[in-house]
Amino acid sequence: MAAAGPWPELEAAARERRRELCLPGAAVAERVAAGGGRLPAALLALPLLQSLELSGCAALRELGPGVAAALPALHTLVLRQNALGPAGLGEGLGGPLPALRLLDLSGNGLEALPAALGGAGDGAGDAAPAFPQLRGLNLSGNRLRELGPGLARAAPQLQELLLSGNRLRALPGGLLPPAGPGAPFPLLSRLDAADNEVAELGADIAALPALKSLDVANNQLRELPSALADCPRLKEANFRGNPLRDKRLEKMVNGCQTKAILEYLRAGGRGKGKAESAREEVRKKKREKQQKKDGGDGEQDEVEEASRLLVKVLHVSENPAPLVVKVSPGVKDVRPFIVCCVLKGVNLKPGNALKRFLSMQTKLHEDICERRTVATIATHDLQLVKAPLTYDIQPPDELKIMPLGRKEIKAKDLLRQLHLEAEEQRKQKKRQNISGLHKYLQLLDGKDNYPCLVDAEGAVISFPPITNSEKTKIKKETRDLFLEVTSNTSLQICKDVMDTLILKTAELNRFTLENKEGSGSDTELDALCGPGSLEPGNLPLVLEQVRVVDTDGNLKVLYPSKTDLATVSSLLTVIR
C-alpha cells in the first residue's frame, strides 16, 4: 500500500482503538490519488477494526495487498461509488474475511467479479469459503454481464444479493453451480436484479429454497416461468417494466398482485395445453407433499411474519435535521462509550403505558446492564432536548444537574446526599441491602471527573450512571424519544443494550395499541393507523440514526448501522 502524506484519521483510530471508521471520499481523494489510487498502508495497523467505509472517492482504484489479512475482525466493508475494478479488489480481498457480514461494492463500474467472489480465476475448488459469514452483498450500479457459480462457494450463507443497474442477461444464469450436495444459497431470501438486460428468467430460480423477495423490474422478460410458483417462500415479486407477451399477466404485474401472479403461473397461465397442465398438477402434488413433510412451514411463516414488530430506519442522509452528539477527548478515561438514537411514534398516554415503559427500563438495568455495572440507559423526551449535544466530563464540584424528582444540585452534593439516604435506609430497615440509585454510587468512586451529556444551552441532561435530568423527563404526552446508552466496558455492549431497548419499546408500544386502555380511544387509534391501514401491532416506529463524532467532526459511531439490530432480528422487522 502507498503512504502519501499524513492520515490523522487513521492515527486517531489507532490511538483510540476504534472499531468503526468512516472516511469521506471527497475529503481524502487527493491523498488517495497521491498514494497511487490505493488505501493507505496505515490502515493495516488497525486489527481491531470491525466496520470500514470509504465511499464517493473517484481516485480509489485499488485496495492494495493485505487488507483481508490485516483486518480479520472486519464485519462491515462499504466501498460505494469509487473506481474499483476486479483487479484492484483482487489483491485486497485475496484472503478470507471470516467475520465479514456486509460487503457493499455498488457503483464501482465492475465488469467482472474479483476472484475472491467467484469471478474469473477463482480456483477455490473444495477450499474453505472466503466469506463464511457474509449475509449481504451489494453489487448494484456496476457493469456486470454474468455471475459465476463460484459466488455460492465463496459466500454460502448469503441472505441478500443486490444486482440492480448492471448488464445481466440471464437469471439465475451461471449463479447456481451444477447439481451437487446441498442446495446453493440455502438462506438467500432477497434477490434484486432490477434495471438489467435480463431476457431469460430460468426455471432453476425455484432452486433457491429461502427466496422471499424477487425484483426483476425493468428488464427484457417476455415470459415468466411457471416454476416461480414452486418457490415455497416467495411473498414479494416485482416484474413491472417488462415487455410480457401475456397481457392478462401484464395487468396483474402492474397491479403488483404477487399472490395472484403466482396462482396464475401455477395454473399454467393462458393458452397452456393439457401437457403443461399435467406437469403443473405433478408440481402441485410435489409441493403439497413437501409442505406436509415440513409440517406446514408456509403457514408457520405467515404466523411468524404477522407477529413480528416493525421499525423503519430513517438514515442521516434522508433526515433534514439529524441529531449529532459530539464527544470530548476526556471521556475516554472516565466512561468512553456512548450510542444514541431517536425513536419516534411511541404511545405512552393510555392507562399504565408510561409505568410499564419505566419498569421495562429498570428491568433492563438489572438484567442486561448488570445493575448498571456494564452499561446505563437514559431516555429523554426529544421535544425537550436542545441540540446539538456534547458528551463531556466535569469536576464533581462544577457539574450541576436537576435530577429526576429533585432540585438542581452539584454532583458532589448529590452523591453525598444519596450516601446519607442510603445509610438512613439501612438503619430503618436494619439490613445491608439497598435499592434505587444508591446501588450505583460506587461506580464513581475515585473519579476526578464525572461523565455528563450537555445540551446546546449548557444544561446537563444526563449524569451516567446515576440519573438523567428533570429537564428532559418523559411524560404521558411524550411521543418521540431520544435514547442514550453509555458504558465504560465496550461499544458493542452499548449497541446490544440499545438493540434490546428498541425491541422492548416496540413490544410495549404494540401491547398498548392492542389493549385499548383508558385515556386512549378508538378515534385516537384510527388516527394513528388510518382506516383500513396497518394493524396497530404492525404500525412501524421510526428509528432515526444519530451520529457520534469527535471534536473534529470525525465519525466515531453511527447507530443504527446496517449491521445493528441483528441480535433481535428474529423478533423485529427493520425497514431500511
pLDDT of amino acid 148:
81
Bridge partners for 390 per DSSP: 326, 454
Name the residue with cell 413480528: 308
Report CA-CA distances (Å) from 53 to 56, 444, 552.
10, 36, 18
Give, in degrees to the nearest 5, the angle at Cα 419 between 418 and 425.
85
Closest by alpha carbon to 38, among 9, 2, 65, 66? 2
Task: Specify the pTM.
Answer: 0.52
CA dist 216 and 391 (Å) reads 46
pLDDT tens for the chain, 576 residues: list them: 444 568 898 988 888 888 888 888 888 899 999 988 988 888 888 999 998 989 889 899 988 888 888 999 999 999 988 998 877 777 667 678 999 999 999 998 888 888 888 765 554 455 688 899 999 999 999 999 988 888 988 999 999 999 999 999 999 888 887 655 567 899 999 999 999 999 999 998 988 999 999 999 999 999 999 999 989 889 889 999 999 999 889 888 887 678 889 988 888 764 344 444 455 555 555 656 655 555 545 444 444 444 457 899 998 888 888 999 999 999 998 999 999 999 999 999 998 999 999 999 999 998 889 888 889 999 999 999 999 999 999 999 999 999 988 899 999 999 888 888 877 776 776 555 555 555 667 778 778 999 999 999 999 999 999 999 999 999 999 999 999 999 988 899 999 999 999 999 999 998 888 776 654 444 433 333 333 333 334 457 999 999 999 998 899 999 999 889 987 877 888 887
Question: Which residues, 6+ apart, have CB-to-CB distance to 104 below 8 Å?
Answer: 77, 78, 79, 80, 136, 138
Give, in degrees to the nearest 5, the angle at Cα 556 between 342 and 33.
125
474-484 as b/e, with b when 16 or more CB fall inside 10 Å? beeebebbbbb
pLDDT of amino acid 402:
93
- What domains can be seen in the chain, in order of their start residue? 11-118+130-174+184-270 (3.80.10.10), 311-412+449-513+538-573 (3.50.40.10)
pLDDT of amino acid 274:
43
Report CA-CA distances (Å) from 278 to 173, 205, 256, 271.
27, 21, 28, 14
| 103 grid coordinates | 460487503
The total number of residues shown for the chain amounts to 576
pLDDT of amino acid 112:
87
pLDDT of amino acid 96:
85
CA dist 126 and 95 (Å) reads 15
The helix or strand, by DSSP H or E, that contains position 53, with its residue range, turns out to be strand 51-55
Strands (E), 315-384: 324-327, 337-344, 376-381
Q: Check if the beta carbon of residue 214 is closer than 8 Å to that of residue 169.
A: no
CA dist 456 and 521 (Å) reads 37
pLDDT of amino acid 304:
43
Residue type, 234: L
Would you report the helix, strand and coil content of the chain in percent, each value rounded to 5?
35, 20, 45
89-109 as b/e, with b when 16 or more CB fall inside 10 Å? bbbbbbbbbbbbbbbbbbbbe
pLDDT of amino acid 573:
84
Question: Residue 557 phi/psi, 5° resolution?
Answer: -155, 145
pLDDT of amino acid 540:
77
CA dist 21 and 391 (Å) reads 19
CA dist 111 and 308 (Å) reads 39
Q: Check if the beta carbon of residue 107 is closer than 8 Å to that of residue 81.
A: yes
Rg over alpha carbons for the chain, rounded to the nearest Å, is: 27
CA dist 282 and 257 (Å) reads 25
Helices of type H across 351-410: 353-366
Closest by alpha carbon to 261, among 305, 219, 223, 302? 223
